[in-house]
Structure 1
Amino acid sequence: MDDVFRALSDSTRRSLLDELFKQDGQTLSALEARLPMTRFGVMKHLKVLEEAGLVVSRKKGREKLHFLNAVPIRLIHDRWVSKYAEPWVTALSDLKDELEKTMEKVYEIYIKTTPERLWEAITRTDLRAKYTFGLQTLSDYTPGSRHEARPPAPAGASRSDMPIIAEGENLEVDPPRRLVQSFRALWSDQAKAEGTSRVTWQIEPVGDSCRLTVTHDQMREGACEELYGGWPMVLSGLKTLLETGQLLTTPGSLAYMPDGPQSCI
């Protein structure tokens, strides 16, 4: 059982098992796309899991599929959890699952633009500020890099003097189609208490327009609305910017904007 405990001690390997639990029989490429690491790194972790008997691989045509094998974990359960303790363990496990439930919010909007222009509006600091309440989001948008949003600095001050309003890591970067980011809101004590969630931007061309789907997930069940409640305004502002060149001027949409409404592009 030492191999099983060693395999389970690593958070990345546990994540791989979680992915196979959600969808069994995945290829190396599919698993690689779900983790912020190289193909070689995923292969090394899969090898450890296979040696421990937690993952079984099978060839199907030209593909190699990976399957979760829960037997070693069940053997551990049977060895240390007696039939008398099992109801208590099950109840506590159910309680833990209930407390750790997550929720997701999905927003979809059609914008008359190209994928390249939409990607630019999402990743270019000056354009993004025009529909994200004036916040300046800075990042080089490479996998594993950091992104942070701050209010614009007034005259005589530097950007570093301004508080960070939101931050995170770029987990997947596939221009101009897909951007996955971890997200931590810092604009209030209530927002900070929610911890880190995830935001996925998915761009799909549809005729002469694009369908943009934003998924905000990995939030706890019952998370405060201020964590995700601004998305309709953000996406409406993005659509307004790209289709008209103007700023959205609804209440709150210019919260950090130093100047009033103006033509932008």
Structure 2
Amino acid sequence: MFEIYIRTTPCRLWAAITTPDTSVTRDLGARMTSDWTPGSGFELRHPGTGARLGSGVNLEVVPPRRLVQRTVALWSDDVRDAGITRVTWVIETVGDACRLTVVHDQIRDGADHDLYGGWPSTLSSLKEHLETGRSWASLPASAR
């Protein structure tokens, strides 16, 4: 489980997660696309090569509050072997900010750390992007 507070509105946060051209995943080298309806599929692709990095199904889509996805990572044999996992995004208003809670679960014991270890940098990028308009990935390494 990962939790972060971001000074933004639920609608802006939802858009940053789900809009391919503004998605924070783009800043980390990926682009997520879907029609964002319950039961619809989604894909995570490398923007430069088009290689598929992940795919899955949107189980629950409640804009701008909750998104539950069943997903399989495809960027390496190790993460692919971990099989299907679940990612739940919950957005709650807290004063003039939002608390974003991301739960990545249903992970097989012994799964490669690369499957879930990138969440801190992804959420930091999301926060940086929404609060300053800059990409976390574009900051000098000393500022990360």
Number of equivalent positions: 140
Match of 1:188 among 65, 76, 80: 76
Deviations 1:24-80 (A, max 9, x none): xxxxxxxxxxxxxxxxxxxxxxxxxxxxxxxxxxxxxxxxxxxxxxxxxxxxxxxxx
Give the structure 2 partner of residue 112 of structure 1. 7
Match of 1:134 among 1, 16, 29: 29
Maintained 8 Å contact 2:24/2:129: no
* TM score, norm. by length of structure 2: 0.91
- Mark the structure with the bigger radius of gyration: 1
Distance 1:150 1:224 in 2: 20
- Match of 2:28, SS? coil
Partner AA of 1:211 in structure 2 = R
> Which structure has more RCO (C-alpha within 8 Å, separation ≥ 6)?
2
Partner AA of 2:117 in structure 1 = G
Residues 91-170 of structure 1 mapped to structure 2, 5 A cutoff: 106-129=1-24, 133-153=28-48, 162-170=50-58
Partner AA of 2:79 in structure 1 = A
The runs of at least 4 consecutive aligned structure 1 residues that moved more than 3 Å come to 129-132
Residues 12-27 of structure 1 mapped to structure 2, 5 A cutoff: none
How much has 1:136 moved relative to structure 2?
1.2
- Higher normalized helix content (fraction of residues): 1
Distance 1:129 1:212 in 2: 14
Match of 2:111 among 215, 219, 223: 223
How much has 1:221 moved relative to structure 2?
1.9
Match of 1:174 among 59, 62, 75: 62
Distance 2:42 2:25 in 1: 17
Partner AA of 1:109 in structure 2 = I
The 1:244/1:131 distance shift into structure 2, 3 A limit, reads farther
How large is the RMSD of aligned CA atoms in angstroms? 1.8
* TM score, norm. by length of structure 1: 0.50
Maintained 8 Å contact 2:5/2:100: yes
- Match of 1:165, SS? strand
Maintained 8 Å contact 1:201/1:214: yes
How much has 1:218 moved relative to structure 2?
0.4
Distance 2:116 2:25 in 1: 19
Residues 43-122 of structure 1 mapped to structure 2, 5 A cutoff: 106-122=1-17
- Higher normalized strand content (fraction of residues): 2
How much has 1:222 moved relative to structure 2?
2.4
- Match of 1:118, SS? helix
Percent sequence identity is 54
